Amino acid sequence: MSSPKPAILLAHGSYHTPQPYARLRALLSKQGYETHCPQLPCASRDYLVADPRNPSFDQPPPSQGLPTQDLDVAALRAVLRRLVEEQGRDVLLLAHSSGGWTATEIATPELQRGKRGLEGRGGGVVGIFYMASFLVMLGESVWSTFAASTGEAEQGAREGQGWFSLLKERNLTVFNDPPYFLFHDLPAEEAEKWSETLTACPFLTVPLTNDAYSELPCAYMLCEGDRVVSSWYQELMVKKAEESSGRKMQIYKCPGGHESFLSYPELYLDSIVEFAEKCA
């Protein structure tokens, strides 16, 4: 009997909730894939402001302070450990945008299928599928990787306006004009709908400590119409990851923007399924 399909664990991007990924997850579910996408603290209103019921982010942080990516790692790793260590499942990681850092950080050797197999244990991470993600190098952070792309990422911006603003007194960033920068390849009404689900983002300065690129099969969805992380910078990050790891990434291409899993869901579905089968 053939092995069951891997479970899929999605690390969502900054400013996001799991809501925008629901359609892609539903399509994967119809293909027999069990999917998980926990809300990460660094994008959760509950962790970002003193009063989560207040729609404004121009308010004090919670009494415990702003979250760090260590909390994101803990939230995602808890699901991964349950799937791998308790259920013995193979797991394919999906990563969107800054979720590239989180997925790479949690895919540590003791949770990789290859390493576990050598120890006579079943299950483990079989690969990582990055979706317009930041590919962060060891010792670097999302913030430092983003800073290197800022000038190019803002070429598509309207004159005099970048895609994010700093709330310096709050140590937060908020998105500017998401219908233009994120959801430009969707109908206006749908773009507004998803824009309303966005939150804020603290400075993501935690350095990457795990080198998953060298140990796991990796794929990258290159988004050619991205107005946040330009396609040429995506290609540059892939090249750097390949050079540092000595491994080639499987490249997929989409004409859409940063959120093209919404505008081209079938293309994403086919690409993820193909990669999952290669990792089986």
pLDDT in tens, 245-259: 999 999 999 999 999
What's the mean pLDDT in 194-201?
96
| Contact partners, residue 244, CB within 8 Å, separation at least 6 | 137, 138, 211, 213, 214
Q: Regarding predicted confidence, which is higher, 149 or 77?
A: 77
Check pLDDT > 80 for residue 109.
yes
Check pLDDT > 80 for residue 11.
yes
What's the mean pLDDT in 5-21?
97
Residue 172 CA, distance from chain mean position: 19
- CA distances in angstroms from 71 to 150, 229, 272, listed in the order given: 26, 25, 27
pLDDT at 149: 63
Backbone φ and ψ for 261, nearest 5 degrees, come out as -65, -20
pLDDT at 3: 60
What's the mean pLDDT in 265-270?
98
Helix (H) or strand (E) holding 45: helix 45-48
pLDDT at 161: 53
Check pLDDT > 90 for residue 162.
no
pLDDT at 279: 96
Helix (H) or strand (E) holding 129: strand 124-131
Give percent of the chain above pLDDT 90: 86
pLDDT at 164: 84
Give percent of the chain above pLDDT 70: 94
Q: How far apart are CA 115 and CA 65, in angstroms?
A: 37
Structural domains present in the chain: 7-279 (3.40.50.1820)
pLDDT at 208: 98
Q: What is the pTM of this model?
A: 0.94
Q: What is the pLDDT of residues 208-239, one digit of tens each?
A: 999 999 999 999 999 999 999 999 999 999 99
pLDDT at 155: 40
Q: What is the pLDDT of residues 67-80, one digit of tens each?
A: 999 999 999 999 99
Check pLDDT > 80 for residue 55.
yes
